[in-house]
Amino acid sequence: MGDLWLGSLTIFLTIMGSQGQLKTGFYSSSCPNAEATVRSTVQSYFNKDPTIAPALLRLHFHDCFVQGCDGSVLIAGSSAERNALPNTGLRGFEVIEDAKSQLEAKCPGVVSCADILALAARDAVDLSDGPSWSVATGRRDGRVSLSSQASNLPSPLDPISVQRKKFSDKGLDDHDLVTLVGAHTIGQTECRFFSYRLYNFTTTGNSDPTIDQDFLGQLKALCPNKGDGLKRVSLDIDSPTKFDVSFFKNVRDGNAILESDQRLWGDPATQSIVQNYAGNIRGLLGLRFNYEFPKAMVKLSSVEVKTGTQGEIRKVCSKVNLY
């Protein structure tokens, strides 16, 4: 018990320490328009395609889970993170590069790609009718990006025990897990990542019994057996571009698309958190989720950050600087 407590304390102190090194308004004197530039860039892409919002949120999430929030997912290369199997379908890189090139013209070598990504994720939620929050900045960019290190990313196939372990390894608890998965309220996936639930869940041709029967028919219409596996489907069919609590109602009602999401209802601890978001007056109005999601994002955005003299400030987000 003592070792467990000390381990938890170490993770807590690591998170607190990294948050302490980041600060709100980090660029207020060195690049005063940094946050406004990121915001206007995200807004311009969002106006053309609202599905860029969940893409940017996912990009930040996947960055933080590998080597911390250091922009390493943005680096291009055959053996880089972004080419790992769990990162299939990541997009939005051009938004970050666009904001970076504008900032390099205004304040060369000042604003990190990791910070641009953290700010863009916040702006993406805000533009989707979700909450906004202050993003502490001061992250530095990592110089290492290896696809082999992306194996600890959460997977749609993960049971709750594995999801819990992957999140706790980053200092995130059950509450953070459920809250952050709530980002799927504006997310998308491809048929190939869940069609096994519809047609061959137990390798005997059955469907996943936790799927509501009416919803099963809808999903089969969207993703026919042996159809286009790359077809994109919204993870919250009720309000796909609105950041709200209908995702949690779907989980409660057996209408979650990914197996990992539906499993949140099968575990007593995570079920009670889902119920809190979906079930009562504060939950139904979205007040609780809008309050808790920013807190979870601040925690996520502080995972294993590089600050001070660690890492570098990349000139171009897709490649490390040459010295």
Q: Is 175 a catalytic residue?
A: no
244 among annotated binding-site residues = yes
| Neighbour tally for 322: CB within 10 Å | 5
User: d(Cα 234, Cα 268) in Å, to the nearest integer?
Assistant: 26
Give 23's strand partners. 137
Tell me, letter by letter, the H, E, C secondary structure of 213-273: HHHHHHHHHHCCCCCCCCCEEECCCCCCCCCCCHHHHHHHCCCCCCHHHHHHHCCHHHHHH
145 among annotated binding-site residues = no
User: d(Cα 11, Cα 117) in Å, to the nearest integer?
Assistant: 23
144-172: b or e for each residue (b if 16 or more CB lie within 10 Å)? ebbbeebeebbbeebebeebbebbbebbb
Greatest CA separation for the chain: 63
Give 189's strand partners. 233
User: With contact defined as beta carbons under 8 Å apart, do 180 and 172 qualify?
Assistant: yes
User: d(Cα 236, Cα 242) in Å, to the nearest integer?
Assistant: 9
Q: Annotated catalytic residue: which of 39, 62, 82, 288?
A: 62
**CA dihedral of 293, 296, 300, 306, whole degrees rounded to 10:** 110
Torsion region of 92: left, alpha or beta (phi above 0 gives left; psi -120 to 50 gives alpha): left
312 among annotated binding-site residues = no
* ∠ CA 170-241-35, rounded to 5°: 60
72 among annotated binding-site residues = yes
**CA dihedral of 223, 228, 231, 233, whole degrees rounded to 10:** 10
49 among annotated binding-site residues = no
Torsion region of 12: left, alpha or beta (phi above 0 gives left; psi -120 to 50 gives alpha): alpha
Residues marked active site are found at 62
> Which residues line the annotated binding site for heme b?
184
> Which residues line the annotated binding site for substrate?
154
> Which residues line the annotated binding site?
63, 66, 68, 70, 72, 81, 154, 184-185, 236, 244
> Which residues line the annotated binding site for Ca(2+)?
63, 66, 68, 70, 72, 81, 185, 236, 244
